[in-house]
A and B are shown apart, each in its own frame.
Chain A
Amino acid sequence: MSHFRSELRQRADELVSLYPRRRSAMLPLLHLAQEQDGYVTDEAMVEVAELTGTTPAEVRGTAAFYDMFHLEPVGRYVVGVCTNIACLLAGGEELLAHASRTLGCAVGGTSTDGLFTLEETECLADCNIAPVVQVNHRYVRTTTPELFDALVDDLRQGRLDHDVPPHGTLIRVRRSGGLRVAREELAAERAESRAARDARAATEAK
């Protein structure tokens, strides 16, 4: 019995098939787990372990290394406010403190209604519109307390459902196309082309 819903399990199997070794699908699969459950659950870890040929302990150990993976439940919206150097110079700390007041939760905490989790992030690479705010890893470009409050209102009212989808950085990433050829066949072709190149080099050397 799969923990992943059938559509996600299908995507998971496709992801595994993309890599020469299945463990390479670890990070994308953990993103899928969050897409389904909001965070990486124990059940998902068991399934990711099975899919990647690892143990649940290895999956947990890997997931715990990466900031984007949550091992505990989080709010429907994870709000990240950057305070790194460019944002610091633009009032990032002040905006983070304001966000904490508006959302009614501490930095790192979740609001009592379970809607928001607030995080202090490292640089999000959008420094020309500082301080940078992301919600579920979508840039929302609310650089002032007023804009931030309007954003929260919009999120509460569901007005940003299109711009800010639920968790999952791959939620709108779908792969089509691909190279359906045996790797051995490709390797043989490359060997042939390298031999031709070496022959050219040898001719030139003469």
Chain B
Amino acid sequence: MATLDAPRIVTSRAAYADSHTLARYLDTGGYQGLRQALTMFPEQVAAEVDAASLLGRGGAGFPAGRKWSMLRKSPVSYLVVNGDESEPATFKDHFLVERDPHQLVEGVIIAAYALQVTQAFIFLRGEFALGLERVQQAVNEAYEHGALGRGIFGSSFSLDIVVHPGAGAYICGEETALIEALEGKRGFPRIKPPYFPAVTGLYGEPTVVNNVETMSNLPWIVQHGGAAFAALGAGRSTGTRLFALAGRVRNPGVFEIEMVKNTFRDLIFDPRLGGGIIDDRRVKAIIPGGVSAPWFGPELLDLPLGQDEVAERGSMLGSGSIVVMDETSCVVRAAWRITKFFSRESCGQCTPCREGSGWLERILYRLEHGGGRLEDVDLLLDLSDNIAPGLTWPPQQTTICVLGPSIPSSIHAAISMFRDDFYEHVEHGGCPHD
């Protein structure tokens, strides 16, 4: 059974039908964290976030406090919130922007105060039409309420938030590509170094980029203290986290659970969470952190949901998405579809990614749809090795950004775990599941 006694930090009011309104937000403690933050010095607010050891919830898992502290010496110009959630099967930020937009806005104001910036941007996926409406509405209401604008709640702190729509490009989740898009350009990731937008960000100025869920944690952290947050979870994985569970489970959804205290099995099988596999079938494989992550087999179901725990076994918790495949799922088709996605979303700047993803996709297509050859299996690995040399985890990089080295994850995993399934496809002249 899952351990579900931790407080709900970011989903406390999600059950209310009107959870997105200012009235409900104020009724349930809304903007109290901000009021409290404004009684503190900005560096004290930053120190609480540092004490919380809040790891960024976007995918890379970089400590938010450390990201901020890189900027302590020089003034920060902009705060940019990454709400371009596009990692396949990740739908937690979608949940947060529609269900609790004020919580996000309050978190952004708190972060802006800690960083002493006066201009913030919330970049949301263009496909989130309702999310865009609700976040803009929350921003409008925050202005009216005095939580935004000139002299927030009577303090000397002023802030403007602009809600910015994306337009359909996975790569814009990469923070430097997101900045390019925010500058009105194609979403091409920038060449590193400089590694961090903290050095050269929006308009070449120091910029902090944080994820929606990361921001949504801040009102609670300020109100309860960083230590209370850090007391939840274990090791480097503190607090609670949203897990987006999808695939062959009875009850897919977004679940907020304490880090590390629960395992993949708890999340997937507990009747209050995933509720088990459809038709009580067996788990064949799980994708633990978005399709950029290498897969796990059922033997790792008892692994705790923690950043280091998953990393030690050669994958990542990534974006907090968990996809479950059962014995009816075709792993060749899954690897093909994931590769097709990367091929379609490659921005095209780097040859290994642009060309490699297309080659891999075509080989996987013929294996799945007929025309595959026995030697294709090793050819897939050889090509993958050209994109991410050594096929290690974390992968070696031959490209500007991490999209390229993410491509081999599912292919390498599927072949390592289910090589015979590939041969079966060759012998059958296509997918035996069809």
Contact = CB atoms under 8 A, between A and B. Distances in A.
B144 interface: yes
A194 to B, nearest CB: 6
Given A62-B184, A179-B150, A197-B42, A89 B132 contact: no
A175 interface: yes
A84 B167 contact: no
B11 interface: no
Given A86-B246, A128-B254, A169 B126 contact: yes
Interface string A35-54: 00000000000000000101
Contacts of A20: 119, 203
Given A68-B126, A123-B86, A190 B184 contact: no
B260 interface: no
A68 B344 CA distance: 14
A127 B162 contact: no
Interface stretch (A98-106, A107-115, A134-142): A134-142
Contact of B158 (A28, A31, A189): A189
Contacts of A65: 169, 186-187, 347
Interface of A: 18-21, 23-28, 30-31, 52, 54, 61-62, 65-69, 83-86, 88-89, 122-128, 130, 134, 136-139, 169-181, 183, 186-187, 189-191, 193-194, 197, 200-201
A24 B184 contact: yes
A122 B88 contact: yes
Contacts of A197: 41-43, 116
A190 B183 CA distance: 24
A89 to B, nearest CB: 5
Contact of B168 (A23, A68, A170, A201): A68
B309 interface: no
Given A18-B162, A130-B252, A193-B156, A125 B91 contact: yes
B353 to A, nearest CB: 15
Contacts of B245: 128
> Of B89, B93, B169, which is in contact with the most chain A CB atoms at under 10 Å from its CB?
B89
23 contacts: A18-B162, A28-B164, A65-B186, A66-B169, A84-B341, A89-B323, A122-B345, A123-B88, A123-B90, A124-B127, A125-B127, A169-B165, A170-B132, A170-B165, A173-B132, A174-B136, A179-B149, A179-B159, A186-B118, A189-B158, A190-B116, A193-B116, A201-B43
Nearest to A63: B167
Given A138-B129, A175-B140, A191-B75, A126 B116 contact: no
B223 interface: no
Nearest to B143: A177
B181 A27 contact: yes
A68 B167 contact: yes
Interface stretch (B18-26, B331-339, B390-398): B331-339
A85 B287 CA distance: 10
B185 A125 contact: no
B163 interface: yes
A24 B119 CA distance: 14
Given A128-B91, A130-B246, A190-B118, A30 B183 contact: no
A190 B159 CA distance: 11
A186 B156 contact: no
B184 A23 contact: yes
Interface residues on B, range: 35 or more
A127 B246 CA distance: 6
Contact of B323 (A62, A86, A134): A86
A88 B184 contact: no
Nearest to B247: A89
A177 to B, nearest CB: 3
A85 B323 contact: yes
B291 A85 contact: yes
B341 A27 contact: no
A179 B118 contact: yes
Interface in B169-224: 169-170, 181-187, 203
Given A24-B182, A25-B184, A52-B184, A125 B90 contact: yes
B149 A186 contact: no
B163 A175 contact: yes
A89 B252 CA distance: 12
B172 to A, nearest CB: 9
Contacts of A25: 184
A125 B156 contact: no
Contacts of A126: 91, 94
Given A68-B126, A88-B334, A130-B246, A62 B118 contact: no
B89 A85 contact: yes
Q: What are the 7 tightest A-B residue pairs by CB atom distance, in nearest-first order? A: A177-B143, A26-B184, A67-B168, A66-B167, A23-B184, A68-B168, A179-B160
> Of A20, A130, A171, which is in contact with the most chain B CB atoms at under 10 Å from its CB?
A20
Contacts of B42: 193, 197
B329 to A, nearest CB: 6
A125 B85 contact: yes
